Chains A and B, each alone.
Chain A
């Protein structure tokens, strides 16, 4: 540790005495600002040329053979379908918020596509179905080009050397995963674009911190908010960038609060509200607006109906469930189906075995079970809660309302439904359901009909109104679950009484009334479309999105664990064509992703080493360099972690393409680390130091040693090597990225860099 370059701790700037007088005089700042201007002027042309060059390169890379394959590829199945639904104004359900799909649909609308095609299977031909797919793909591809340009601008605004800016953007440009993903009709390209817009705007905003409340300050602050709102409205993953900006803003605010900054509480409150409005209210408004447009467009009943409540379905035109709805009267014979498992309540003359295999004893009564296909034994008659068994005209005219007490008679056996404190056959904690002869044990045959949404619809109807059936005597709900009885129960589904009355799986739906054809009756009556306040519609849909997202746990052959993403153990086969032996196989650029991973490791190592040595009074890194490395590099580092780590705690099915935003962040971090490793010094300061009137009380906290980065020849050679490796790897993997040309078996095997890559046509 006796390296002479290590300096002992300087006098810290933040001591009380220093706080009184500014560390630098007004003249110094003027001089620095002048230097800055000069520097910018010198650099300007170079930057323009490089920026245009990388944009042109990226355009070529993104649009190369965009018309190929002229077939449905991977998730175009979903997003193409959704786009069509928008154009046909048919209600659908998807776990993502609407903005991304709305933008795709807008493109479709502008080019005059009518949304007729269903995008049923991967590999179906677009040409045969007359889909203007090239135009549709142009939009994501164009955003991919803009993303590359944005990466360049972000690096430039962050004050990195020209060569680093170009290199970083080029690395992003030549990433196979981004190219493969972002030129197809999917959401990722749109989302990455808005993430980068947000990051760019926030960096611009931060650089204006000494001109607080100036016009451009407000502009970039609101741009950040708008970016957040748009990102969030595309996928819930947008929450990660919201968190990242949120943390940065909190750190920033905490520093402003510091008494040594000299801000009055009033002044601070203004800062606080400015950010709250721009970064919370604005995104929320954008998010809600997207849903508003979503509902405004989708007015026809469609495949999304089944996810929504009956009240919601009522707001759609031509709703099929609406057509099935009929009021239920006493003495009607109905079928009841369980909403979650789709089985019908059923009984027959078989009895529960007196003694189960595990030694428990049953009531030996008739079985009540769930059956998938309704039959003659699935009809139940609704009886009023009177001991009189005979039909009574007075009752027969009455409909059944929320909280009414009824009895159910099984038509096939003429016995009455009952439950009692006897353990059910499969779950000993739940109660057994059985039937008894009419007239017996009256009190135990009473059930209360509890409707799901009594405020909206107070009458028990078929089709529409889900209900729970509570047993009056023992307080259990009629319930079933996907477990089948053994042979004595013909393998039918176990039905029992659930003690937890509030479970969502307690809901049943009455399906049919014997002798009445609901559709015919309803067709004869004029149907009206109801309305529903926007906020309630939104809250309902948002709830369904959350629960559905959490429920996406069905395994998929190409799913992967987050741990395997950065090392690319496995890719995803997007598309393949047997005749020509071509395929699209999504993997990242092996060079870039591993370097990205290395940069994460190097960053953490350097950061920790610096932290530990500073704690011991040794400062190994120079002021401005360290400042940039910690603040800007740290921001990229945080962005990367926040776009990657949360996936580890997600229970849903995950895919390699969920890593793409994190991959872009890792490239920016890589740029920062490469500058730290290969370029001497850093261009600093880059923030605008000229203070405006209201910021007079602000103290400069950045270290004001003006400094210019000096990339030497070695650094340029190193950077060139990195870039050429990336390009070489990109070209090597290109046949799998663009889906052409076809490869022979040997070539396929050659391209199998990791044994886990399950490429097609490897034999």
Chain B
């Protein structure tokens, strides 16, 4: 093991200069540092933001920033903004990512050694990891992938350690490595949901081993049960606990209102510090002035203003408006108040001690009068709304003029959800639909923004047979002159518990993930990753270009190895079925089948699910699969090395292979590190016509600083 320690140390020492080379350069915002740098600032300021990824990696980035005294005031804006003169400790933040990337190198070595593979093969895999351009580029900047990759690698390492100790169950080492695996899983999935693929990998491997235990009649049922429960606790319980804990810390840190407010529900918003606390009487009586909030979207309050629809009925617009405003105020009136014979129910005596007030109850018919443009009332009729032009949508407007009492198209029935008919409507509590009786439709809003004539506000329409969530409304504030405040209960937004926030955030993240559909010039499909068809432009300036491109030799080797693995395993299966005797020792064959099978499965689990994703995908999504693929290459090389009887020839073989990969690495290094390059080398490196790093940006040898006349003109 001493030899191994030496190799590990050497590997680390060699990796450091290679990976740290020029790590402060460029002192500008690169690629997604736009997002993740900004998020670090949000943690330091404590302002709430919303993002599709779980928080762990972002919190660790923020921790680094905090330690190196970032005050959170930098606006990352766009790619290319300069860090110089700001308080962003970008060099330190990047250094941590680079360091994590460096750790990946010895991790791969130790993983393979632990699995029982030879030192030359393990070293080979480690060198492939070190000289892989995309792994290098992606861990040079403030991105999440460096964290994710390290946690994935840690998980695989711990699992290899655990399997090594599987014949001595319930010892200290056994427990330690089992929980270490669970820890790695929890951290990986708390960085990005891609960690779920790692969970699937370990889960399948666990099932395989547990199935073996169950079939082993020497293991008693009690003992099996212990095995089973231990795995559930460590591999399911522990990751869930870590995941939830990350979110807990995340929400504790981000206690102030911030840029994420517009994504979350009003209840969530009001649980953040910095919101005006709304306090309102909970009872709603006829004649009250109310503001009504839409619950299905975060569009805001039911709103109207003195501009008309340019089409349809040409009556006054009704929209959703996200901020508090006088135009959000409506007066609730009883619908058949013109009918004199109707008795006012004596619910509560007004503060003048002579007027009786009546509560608004579910199932009753009301009118809503817009306070500012009185006597216009909320109105719907058989016209098509401006944006939703399907048959089942009706336009909603504010309609009415002095001396006209309105018509039956102003009548809406309040219908609460989950409460009995005739229950009282309560501010901030009752969720209700407003049903238009004549059109049998419900007041609705979707996520559609009106054009300029509607000031970009959200469309409100009336929908027939709509889904319930988007037709739900809630009264946020109530005021009535005569309401005796001493007799009513005051209410305000209930504070969201952690679990409610957790649940809501996940719904939002899931939807946001699926909505990432618009096309991006550097996106790619999973099928293109295998052959490394596309790269990603990270940053460019003055003839320097940082372009995420893998080491093609390594990418292609991994792909070929995976296919060879599949063909070979089918081939061996076939021979077995036909009863052909193998020249390999059975144990040896079994050993390699199991090891290669595990890493091939890990590769497949980290790669294939992307085919099912409709969202935009990028080359860097392939990196975890690539890491597993490199380990598979390591195992395969180990198998090939069995053929070499002489130890030295093994080393020679391995170093020759490595040399090819290293040459390719240095060939593409200018793109990985953003170093100056020349057009000739660039064109020579254009191995595939699809690589769009753009050689024309580099000057030819001897012609540096060739000012482009086109740019000069602008």
Show the binding face of A for B, using Cβ within 8 Å. Answer: 254, 257-260, 265, 361, 363, 420-422, 429-430, 487, 499-500, 557, 612, 615-617, 649, 651, 758, 763
Asked whether B714 lies within 8 Å of A361 as measured between CB atoms, the reply is yes
Which residues on the B side are within 8 Å of A429 (C-beta)?
A: 521
Name the residue among B214, B440, B465, B714 with the largest chain A CB count within 10 angstroms.
B714
Known: A363-B714, A420-B710, A649-B612. A615 touches B211 (CB 8 A): yes
Please measure, in the bound complex, the distance between the C-alpha atom of A756 and the C-alpha atom of B465, giving whole angstroms.
Answer: 10
> Does B315 interact with chain A (Cβ within 8 Å)?
no
> Does B277 interact with chain A (Cβ within 8 Å)?
no
Scan residues 441-462 of chain B and give those whose CB is less than 8 A from a CB of chain A: 452
- Least CB separation from A755: chain B residue: B468
A-B contact pairs, 14 of them (CB 8 A): A257-B577, A258-B577, A259-B578, A259-B579, A265-B578, A361-B714, A363-B714, A421-B710, A422-B714, A612-B214, A616-B214, A616-B215, A649-B612, A763-B440
Which residues on the B side are within 8 Å of A363 (C-beta)?
A: 714
> Does B265 interact with chain A (Cβ within 8 Å)?
no
Given contacts A259-B579, A612-B214, 4 further A-B contacts (CB under 8 A): A257-B574, A422-B710, A487-B452, A615-B211
Which residues on the B side are within 8 Å of A421 (C-beta)?
A: 710-711
Asked whether A616 lies within 8 Å of B714 as measured between CB atoms, the reply is no
Which residues on the B side are within 8 Å of A615 (C-beta)?
A: 211, 214-215
Please measure, in the bound complex, the distance between the C-alpha atom of A615 and the C-alpha atom of B578, giving whole angstroms.
Answer: 25
Please measure, in the bound complex, the distance between the C-alpha atom of A361 and the C-alpha atom of B714, giving whole angstroms.
Answer: 8
Interface string of B583-619 (1 = CB under 8 A from A): 0000000000000000000000000000010100000
Known: A258-B577, A363-B714, A649-B612. A617 touches B211 (CB 8 A): no
Give B262 Cβ to nearest chain A Cβ, in Å. Answer: 19
Please measure, in the bound complex, the distance between the C-alpha atom of A616 and the C-alpha atom of B692, giving whole angstroms.
Answer: 58
B465 contact from A557, A612, A617, Cβ within 8 A: A557
Which residues on the B side are within 8 Å of A758 (C-beta)?
A: 465
- Least CB separation from A498: chain B residue: B521
Which residues on the A side are within 8 Å of B276 (C-beta)?
A: none
Asked whether A557 lies within 8 Å of B214 as measured between CB atoms, the reply is no
Interface string of B198-231 (1 = CB under 8 A from A): 0000000000000100110100000000000000
Please measure, in the bound complex, the distance between the C-alpha atom of A758 and the C-alpha atom of B614, giving whole angstroms.
Answer: 31
Please measure, in the bound complex, the distance between the C-alpha atom of A612 and the C-alpha atom of B440, giving whole angstroms.
Answer: 56
Give A474 Cβ to nearest chain B Cβ, in Å. Answer: 9
Asked whether B614 lies within 8 Å of A651 as measured between CB atoms, the reply is yes
Give A25 Cβ to nearest chain B Cβ, in Å. Answer: 26
7 cross-chain pairs, A with B, having the tightest CB-CB distances, nearest first: A259-B579, A429-B521, A615-B215, A257-B577, A259-B578, A758-B465, A615-B214
- Least CB separation from B224: chain A residue: A616
Give A361 Cβ to nearest chain B Cβ, in Å. Answer: 6
Size category of the binding interface on chain B: 20 to 34
Interface string of B538-580 (1 = CB under 8 A from A): 0000000000000000000000000000000000001001110
Please measure, in the bound complex, the distance between the C-alpha atom of A557 and the C-alpha atom of B452, giving whole angstroms.
Answer: 29
Asked whether A257 lies within 8 Å of B217 as measured between CB atoms, the reply is no
Which residues on the B side are within 8 Å of A617 (C-beta)?
A: 217
Please measure, in the bound complex, the distance between the C-alpha atom of A354 and the C-alpha atom of B208, giving whole angstroms.
Answer: 65
Which residues on the A side are within 8 Å of B667 (C-beta)?
A: none
- Least CB separation from A475: chain B residue: B696
Give B609 Cβ to nearest chain A Cβ, in Å. Answer: 11
Give B669 Cβ to nearest chain A Cβ, in Å. Answer: 25
> Does B382 interact with chain A (Cβ within 8 Å)?
no
Please measure, in the bound complex, the distance between the C-alpha atom of A612 and the C-alpha atom of B214, giving whole angstroms.
Answer: 8
> Does B582 interact with chain A (Cβ within 8 Å)?
no
Which residues on the A side are within 8 Å of B714 (C-beta)?
A: 361, 363, 422
Which residues on the A side are within 8 Å of B578 (C-beta)?
A: 257, 259, 265
Please measure, in the bound complex, the distance between the C-alpha atom of A649 and the C-alpha atom of B610, giving whole angstroms.
Answer: 12
Give B448 Cβ to nearest chain A Cβ, in Å. Answer: 13
Give B613 Cβ to nearest chain A Cβ, in Å. Answer: 11
Asked whether A616 lies within 8 Å of B217 as measured between CB atoms, the reply is yes
Scan residues 676-714 of chain B and give those whose CB is less than 8 A from a CB of chain A: 692, 710-711, 714
- Least CB separation from B574: chain A residue: A257
> Does B491 interact with chain A (Cβ within 8 Å)?
no
> Does B308 interact with chain A (Cβ within 8 Å)?
no
Give B488 Cβ to nearest chain A Cβ, in Å. Answer: 34
Which residues on the B side are within 8 Å of A258 (C-beta)?
A: 577
Which residues on the A side are within 8 Å of B465 (C-beta)?
A: 557, 758
Asked whether A557 lies within 8 Å of B392 as measured between CB atoms, the reply is yes
> Does B486 interact with chain A (Cβ within 8 Å)?
no
A259 contact from B392, B577, B612, B692, Cβ within 8 A: B577
> Does B342 interact with chain A (Cβ within 8 Å)?
no
Which residues on the B side are within 8 Å of A265 (C-beta)?
A: 578
Asked whether A557 lies within 8 Å of B614 as measured between CB atoms, the reply is no
Please measure, in the bound complex, the distance between the C-alpha atom of A499 and the C-alpha atom of B710, giving whole angstroms.
Answer: 18
Please measure, in the bound complex, the distance between the C-alpha atom of A39 and the C-alpha atom of B579, giving whole angstroms.
Answer: 40
- Least CB separation from B521: chain A residue: A429
Give A506 Cβ to nearest chain B Cβ, in Å. Answer: 13
> Does B390 interact with chain A (Cβ within 8 Å)?
yes
Asked whether B214 lies within 8 Å of A254 as measured between CB atoms, the reply is no
- Least CB separation from A615: chain B residue: B215
Asked whether A500 lies within 8 Å of B452 as measured between CB atoms, the reply is no
Give B611 Cβ to nearest chain A Cβ, in Å. Answer: 9
- Least CB separation from A430: chain B residue: B521
Give A440 Cβ to nearest chain B Cβ, in Å. Answer: 11
Scan residues 423-446 of chain B and give those whose CB is less than 8 A from a CB of chain A: 440
Give A125 Cβ to nearest chain B Cβ, in Å. Answer: 22
Asked whether B577 lies within 8 Å of A557 as measured between CB atoms, the reply is no
Please measure, in the bound complex, the distance between the C-alpha atom of A429 and the C-alpha atom of B440, giving whole angstroms.
Answer: 48
Give A250 Cβ to nearest chain B Cβ, in Å. Answer: 12
Scan residues 209-262 of chain B and give those whose CB is less than 8 A from a CB of chain A: 211, 214-215, 217
Which residues on the B side are within 8 Å of A616 (C-beta)?
A: 214-215, 217
Please measure, in the bound complex, the distance between the C-alpha atom of A557 and the C-alpha atom of B465, giving whole angstroms.
Answer: 9
Please measure, in the bound complex, the distance between the C-alpha atom of A758 and the C-alpha atom of B466, giving whole angstroms.
Answer: 11
Which residues on the A side are within 8 Å of B711 (C-beta)?
A: 421
Please measure, in the bound complex, the distance between the C-alpha atom of A499 and the C-alpha atom of B579, giving whole angstroms.
Answer: 57
- Least CB separation from A1: chain B residue: B221
- Least CB separation from A558: chain B residue: B465
Give A254 Cβ to nearest chain B Cβ, in Å. Answer: 7
Give B523 Cβ to nearest chain A Cβ, in Å. Answer: 11
Give A423 Cβ to nearest chain B Cβ, in Å. Answer: 10
Give A396 Cβ to nearest chain B Cβ, in Å. Answer: 33
Please measure, in the bound complex, the distance between the C-alpha atom of A257 and the C-alpha atom of B575, giving whole angstroms.
Answer: 10
Please measure, in the bound complex, the distance between the C-alpha atom of A501 and the C-alpha atom of B216, giving whole angstroms.
Answer: 61
Asked whether A499 lies within 8 Å of B692 as measured between CB atoms, the reply is yes
Please measure, in the bound complex, the distance between the C-alpha atom of A422 and the C-alpha atom of B214, giving whole angstroms.
Answer: 67
- Least CB separation from B520: chain A residue: A429
Interface string of B368-410 (1 = CB under 8 A from A): 0000000000000000000000101000000000000000000
Please measure, in the bound complex, the distance between the C-alpha atom of A308 and the C-alpha atom of B95, giving whole angstroms.
Answer: 57
Which residues on the A side are within 8 Å of B577 (C-beta)?
A: 254, 257-259
- Least CB separation from A758: chain B residue: B465
Which residues on the A side are within 8 Å of B692 (C-beta)?
A: 499
Give A430 Cβ to nearest chain B Cβ, in Å. Answer: 8
Which residues on the A side are within 8 Å of B217 (C-beta)?
A: 616-617
Give A442 Cβ to nearest chain B Cβ, in Å. Answer: 14
Asked whether B211 lies within 8 Å of A500 as measured between CB atoms, the reply is no
Please measure, in the bound complex, the distance between the C-alpha atom of A763 and the C-alpha atom of B437, giving whole angstroms.
Answer: 11
Give B581 Cβ to nearest chain A Cβ, in Å. Answer: 11
Which residues on the B side are within 8 Å of A420 (C-beta)?
A: 710
Known: A257-B578, A758-B465. A500 touches B521 (CB 8 A): yes
Asked whether B390 lies within 8 Å of A557 as measured between CB atoms, the reply is yes
- Least CB separation from A255: chain B residue: B577
Which residues on the B side are within 8 Å of A557 (C-beta)?
A: 390, 392, 465
- Least CB separation from A358: chain B residue: B78
- Least CB separation from B579: chain A residue: A259
Give A554 Cβ to nearest chain B Cβ, in Å. Answer: 11
- Least CB separation from B537: chain A residue: A429
Please measure, in the bound complex, the distance between the C-alpha atom of A258 and the C-alpha atom of B577, giving whole angstroms.
Answer: 5
- Least CB separation from A259: chain B residue: B579
Please measure, in the bound complex, the distance between the C-alpha atom of A245 and the C-alpha atom of B576, giving whole angstroms.
Answer: 25
Which residues on the A side are within 8 Å of B521 (C-beta)?
A: 429-430, 499-500
Which residues on the A side are within 8 Å of B392 (C-beta)?
A: 557
Please measure, in the bound complex, the distance between the C-alpha atom of A651 and the C-alpha atom of B614, giving whole angstroms.
Answer: 9
